[in-house]
């Protein structure tokens, strides 16, 4: 496989995660997309840093709070086995979120992720996002 085709395959893996797992909450794709020893280097202190912790974030925190959640990939770059993605997550705050009662407000969370892809699957993740700012705005 050429370096260019590997980069495109890895970018497609990350797009699949964003489209099918984050936006659609497709548990079958989620189960298929992570290596057994996946590490989320951006997990909050004390939180699980494996794939189950990431699933919990979307299935039990984000989707209940924002049932209309969508992801738009703004930019995506691949270098070797790493894919960098700048994306925007949008939703309407219709359910409780980390102790904040539903406000009905639209939210926008910007994210920059780095994912190391191994054989078409997520092996490692690093990321930064504006969720803390969004929480502060929702608390008013």
Tens-place pLDDT, residues 76-85: 999 999 999 9
**Average per-residue pLDDT in the chain?**
96
Buried-exposed string 1-31: b where 16+ CB fall within 10 A, e elsewhere: eeeeeebeebbebbbebbebbbbebbeeebe
What is the C-alpha separation between 24 and 17, in angstroms, rounded? 9
Residue 37 has φ and ψ, to the nearest 5°, of -110, 30
- Can you give the pLDDT at residue 1? 74
Q: Is the pLDDT of residue 136 over 80?
A: yes
Domains (ranges, CATH) in the chain?
3-139 (3.10.450.50)
Dihedral angle of Cα 16, 25, 39, 60, to the nearest 10 degrees: 160
Q: Is the pLDDT of residue 23 over 90?
A: yes
Instruction: Quickly state the pLDDT bin for 17 (edges 50, 70, 90).
Output: very high
Task: Kindly report, residue by residue over 66-99, the tens digit of the pLDDT.
Answer: 999 999 999 999 999 999 999 999 999 999 999 9
């Amino acid at each position: 496989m050429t370096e260019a085709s590997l980069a495109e395959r890895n970018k497609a893996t990350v797009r699949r995660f964003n489209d099918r797992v984050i936006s659609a909450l497709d548990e079958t794709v989620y189960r298929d997309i992570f290596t057994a020893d996946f590490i989320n280097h951006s997990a909050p202190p004390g939180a699980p840093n494996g794939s189950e912790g990431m699933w919990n974030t979307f299935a039990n925190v984000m989707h209940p709070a924002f049932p209309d959640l969508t992801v738009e990939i703004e930019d995506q770059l691949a270098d070797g086995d790493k894919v960098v993605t700048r994306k925007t997550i949008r939703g309407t705050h219709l359910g409780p979120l980390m102790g904040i009662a539903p406000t009905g407000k639209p939210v926008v969370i910007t994210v920059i992720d780095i994912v190391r892809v191994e054989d078409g699957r997520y092996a490692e993740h690093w990321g930064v996002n504006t969720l803390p700012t969004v929480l502060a705005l929702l608390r008013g």
